[in-house]
Amino acid sequence: MTDRLNGKRIMITGAAQGIGLAIAQACANEGASLFLIDLDAGLLETEAKALQAGGAAIGYTVASITDITAISAAVERAATEIGPINAMINNAGVNVFHEPLETSDEEWQRCFDINLKGAWNCTKAVLPGIIAQGGGAILNIASTHAFTIIPKTFPYPLAKHALLGMTRSLGLEYAGKGVRVNALAPGYVSTQKVIDYWNSFPDPEAARAETMKLHPGGRIATPEEIALAAVFMISDECPFMNATCLKIDGGLSVQQHP
């Protein structure tokens, strides 16, 4: 355990597995206190208890980021359990992948409710407290889908483009109050979400191999590799980094097709 995040009291959403869990583990290792939110009660409790057993100050609650009342209550509970939140990592998100004309209104709404409005709900709930403390950091987990489009993944990339817009907008609005708002854009990361994506193809193994082949290094990222960047961006090691986005995709998105 080191102390790069000593004094940070970070709320992390979607923290029970995948990238959110790896970020929580890395932040705890760097001395942060954490308040974890997820919909999956069983996984959340198991992982939060494991982190507590490792010596970290951890609070947690089961809530949906779409439920602003529950999120506001979580922020209050966090203040009691670990102290007032001074950093927020908006990580929870879901794949909503369709052919555009086959996208139902319900799927469109679900996509934007979770991937965009959910991040705003959490940000809105923590921002007044962060400003009152003289500043802090917000990190939105976007995606390379915030820059480019994979056909038939509609409307997920639209929500990630908008999340990047929100990052820029809030970064400008609150810079004068000491708040940094940034985004991190992973490419493919080995989580359940990506396994589910491969499983949506008739030949999942061929889909997996095709993804690996697209990457200059022949592999995709681990959640831990994304967490390394998240720790840096939420720490005080980049005080002038604001309203920007860091891509971590192993070079995938700069490769031109031959």
Ligand X SMILES: NC(=O)c1ccc[n+]([C@@H]2O[C@H](COP(=O)([O-])OP(=O)(O)OC[C@H]3O[C@@H](n4cnc5c(N)ncnc54)[C@H](O)[C@@H]3O)[C@@H](O)[C@H]2O)c1
Return the closest-CA partner of residue 66 out of 105, 112, 32, 25. 112
Near ligand X by CB under 6 A: residue from 31, 39, 81, 112: 39
Angle at the Cα of 106 from the Cα atoms of 105 and 107, rounded to 5 degrees: 90
Residue 18 is a binding residue for ligand X (CB under 6 A): yes
Name the residue nearer to ligand X (CB basis): 136 or 223: 223
From residue 94, how far is each of 132, 153, 257 by CA, in Å?
Answer: 32, 12, 28
Angle at the Cα of 229 from the Cα atoms of 227 and 234, rounded to 5 degrees: 95
Catalytic residue from among 60, 156, 174, 188? 156
Tokens 């962060």, residue located: 130
d(CA 179, CA 170) in angstroms, rounded, equals: 9
Residue 250 is a binding residue for ligand X (CB under 6 A): no
Name the residue nearer to ligand X (CB basis): 32 or 37: 37
Residue 229 is a binding residue for ligand X (CB under 6 A): no
Q: Candidates 26-34, 61-69, 79-87, 128-136 — which segment interacts with ligand X by CB under 6 A? A: 61-69
Near ligand X by CB under 6 A: residue from 5, 12, 189, 252: 189
How buried is residue 94: exposed, middle or buried, by Cβ count under 10 Å (0-12/13-18/19+)?
Answer: middle
From the CA atom positions of the chain, what is the Rg in Å?
18
Catalytic residue check, 156: yes
Residue 40 is a binding residue for ligand X (CB under 6 A): yes
Sketch the per residue contact string, 66 through 95, with ligand X: x for CB under 6 A, - otherwise: x------------------------xxxx-
Answer for the pair 13, 90: CB distance below 8 angstroms, yes or no.
yes
How buried is residue 214: exposed, middle or buried, by Cβ count under 10 Å (0-12/13-18/19+)?
Answer: middle
Q: How far is the CB of 189 from ligand X (least distance, A)?
A: 4
Residue 19 is a binding residue for ligand X (CB under 6 A): yes
Near ligand X by CB under 6 A: residue from 29, 30, 34, 38: 38
Q: How far is the CB of 184 from ligand X (least distance, A)?
A: 8
Near ligand X by CB under 6 A: residue from 12, 74, 114, 126: 114
Name the residue nearer to ligand X (CB basis): 39 or 68: 39
d(CA 209, CA 227) in angstroms, rounded, equals: 25
Residue 157 is a binding residue for ligand X (CB under 6 A): no
Measured in whole angstroms, how far is the alpha carbon of residue 221 from the centre of its chain? Answer: 15
- The catalytic residue positions are 156
Residues of this chain that bind ligand X (CB under 6 A): 13-14, 16-20, 37-40, 64-66, 91-94, 114, 118, 141, 143, 186, 188-189, 191-194
